Chains A and B, each alone.
Chain A
């Protein structure tokens, strides 16, 4: 019964947290730019407005289905990630499964955008996929490193091992090099500056979102809200010892997010090849060094 309730309410909870976090991010950026900024619940309004649009256009059935795949894939990922109090599905899939299901939304999105036949969209997807190759390699390597360190590929076990020994056994303490590498990669994963060349509104008209309007964009924003939480949670679970209760969890989420946002606020945008090069030249060697530390 408990599980069923969690299944129903987990997406809603994460969605609420996610929207507030996105709202928070807009407020945060605005304050850094010495603006007043929108209210923190602004993202709710945006999503509601988009869902409430009277007309919607689509370029074909893949365009429709891509949106479903995007959100569906994200929900799938969400269930496999242990959050405080709920880790029922985490036992059926491990870090590797998470690594791979994380890619489903990206692929779904890419297919839908492809069907819109908009060159800006295609360029955006092309950039997004190249960025994916950039940041995912170091990120996955840190996954692998952590899994090897603890000799388990189950995220649940990783959390338990970190929580058992208190703060001294957190991944970021035991293996700071991997932690830093993963943090940089996470910046790219969230698509924050300087790694947001796939959206680049002034250049390619928001890339993948070019032809997305109305409820399509709305669902994308819902997915984005949940996705941000998921990606941050993965990092927390791997390196920051997971969370015992929801308070700790939310604090960790906000602290981590603020850290990333601060970087976001003061950076320009890397070109795609520069971003990929950066990812392969800084976080990847860091991750390799970290893994070497684990082996020897």
Chain B
């Protein structure tokens, strides 16, 4: 029995057990823990079966369908199962006593099942079927949680169903073009296609995956959808769910269409398919990142970032060079590690204080140092500063863009990074720094089972930052298996003819710098820690009744600068589409007036029109 079957069966069994034990949360908890531990174990040992193929005992249109294990889906597989396991461990305590949590583990398992199916599928039909399962379970995932959840889940659904329909068209179109659903067969025949048809088919697939990976014009479902559900789901969704869209894009761009085919799709000179794709990716980085500045809710802020970070992955893929693609793929892993870490920290705060409203929190560093540290590691990764992992992948991407001759895409990435620094500082400042409100005086740090995932992820975030080679080995294998050039990596970074990156040196120098600074620090006389109310306020007396924290409208000036653009362009476009559908519906509805004489006229008109048209046809 192959490991793919074991994985999918375990996941399915998890779903069934969760449904069966829907009355007992405790059983659900431990069953899920066991299921996800099993999934993680089996997915990690799966590398022994890479390259093997397994068929379903069912045929569609005379085609055998099934699963295959490649390095690419092994990479995504371990990410999915790993992060699910951490989410479950974190949820054990987090979900205690939460309202509406009976479906929690069920939808989580179902979603994982769907995702595993998608990534391991070896043909379009399996891919599509699991894609649908995944979309629907995402919808279910999003609709659990807060009051606003169903509404925002609905928004997602509208986008997802659109994407599904487009994907379905793509699946069927490629079947009618190639006569097969199998990825490898399609890959073999792709060269026979005319250029315009290739472009059309590729666009269909890319557009439908863009929805799931929240690329700029079709991203607006994500922030609300992700932030209104349970915070642990926010972590899970931002960390891995969105990235299945990226998986699809990688698979189709490189696995099925292949680099040579894509590079043929050129309009004028440099303006080719990849470039256009890159422009969308750049917009994805810039626009959502700056929208994040406006957010007053920690979850929403991070959700916007998870849109923006998707742009980095895509722009890396769009760069088309080995370095850029490696950066894009590596960023998926990195993003998953730090975003989940950040959201776990937020969840911890929410667990203790009951809110994620950034205007209400503050000063929690004194009460929850571990969560603070987790958030700190996470935001350094998110902002892409050394020595955390986010830096490495972003470095790859920048370098690929600069050397590939895409300065404006590179600057978009820079703008995104700066916007990220701004908003993550707001996040950490408004939650953990500043004045501690009196009502949070008795807040405690979260328990061990919630700290454990955070510690693990902190190690991952820092470890991948210093030793990117650990993941790069796998990524190089993926690149080779997709027929791309591999990046010459070492344990500490990469080494190419035109420059190298050595994270060990960066890390060591940083440590050395800290050491020197520490010695200088020790040279001064001792210090004492003082109360937050012992503070400069131009001679005013501060106490617990004075709310002096600065966190409301943290970046008001910036908002003044970018407001005009944002309002004009983005909001109006979004409202436009919804308004159009409503208007069309309203007009169409009026066709049915309810008056029989109108209907009579319709029949007579139809009769005449039919005569006229059919006369031409016959």
Contact = CB atoms under 8 A, between A and B. Distances in A.
Q: Do chains A and B touch in the complex (CB under 8 A)?
A: yes
B536 A210 contact: yes
B554 interface: yes
A117 B363 contact: yes
Nearest to A280: B561
A92 B502 CA distance: 5
A51 B523 contact: yes
Given A114-B434, A291-B408, A107 B557 contact: no
Nearest to B410: A144
Nearest to A145: B407
B417 to A, nearest CB: 8
A215 B527 CA distance: 9
B557 A127 contact: yes
Contacts of B395: 96-97, 100
Contacts of A271: 557
Contacts of B538: 205
Contact of B499 (A123, A133, A153, A280): A153
Interface string B248-269: 0000000000000000000000
A56 B525 contact: yes
Contacts of A55: 525, 527-528
Interface residues of B, number: 82
B524 A218 contact: yes
B398 A96 contact: yes
Contacts of A218: 524
Interface centre among A52, A111, A151 (most CB of B within 10 A): A111
B384 interface: yes
Contacts, number: 258
A33 interface: no
Contacts of B551: 122
Contacts of B558: 130, 133, 272-273, 276
B520 A76 contact: no
Contact of B433 (A64, A117, A154, A272): A117
Contacts of B362: 117
A53 B524 contact: yes
Contact of B385 (A89, A100, A157): A100
A176 interface: no
B157 to A, nearest CB: 35
Interface stretch (A21-29, A134-142, A184-192, A249-257): A134-142
Given A126-B555, A129-B421, A291-B408, A56 B535 contact: no
Given A68-B521, A76-B513, A92-B505, A60 B365 contact: yes
Contacts of B548: 119
B414 A53 contact: no
A75 interface: yes
Nearest to A7: B512
Nearest to A78: B513
A231 interface: no
Of listed B362, B532, B534, B538, residue having the most chain A CB within 10 A: B532
Contact of B550 (A111, A126, A148, A272): A126
Contacts of B526: 56
B195 interface: no
Chain A contact residues (Cβ within 8 angstroms of B): what range?
35 or more
A237 to B, nearest CB: 15
Interface string A104-116: 1001001100111
B517 interface: yes
Contact of A93 (B410, B502, B518, B525): B502
B513 A64 contact: no
Interface in B359-415: 362-363, 365-366, 369, 372, 376, 380, 383-386, 391, 394-395, 398-399, 402-403, 405, 407-408, 410-411, 414-415
A262 interface: no
Contacts of A64: 521, 527
Nearest to B523: A51
29 contacts: A51-B524, A55-B528, A59-B535, A68-B517, A71-B520, A72-B510, A72-B512, A72-B513, A75-B509, A75-B512, A75-B516, A92-B502, A97-B395, A101-B506, A107-B380, A110-B425, A111-B428, A114-B432, A114-B433, A115-B365, A117-B535, A125-B425, A130-B557, A144-B410, A148-B403, A148-B405, A152-B498, A214-B527, A215-B525
Interface of A: 11, 51-62, 64, 67-76, 79-80, 89, 91-94, 96-97, 99-101, 103-104, 107, 110-111, 114-120, 122-123, 125-127, 129-130, 132-133, 136-137, 140-141, 144-145, 147-148, 151-154, 157, 205, 210-211, 214-215, 218-219, 222, 271-273, 276-277, 280, 288, 291, 294-295
- Cβ-closest 9 pairs across A and B: A215-B524, A114-B433, A72-B513, A75-B513, A71-B517, A56-B527, A72-B514, A272-B557, A122-B550
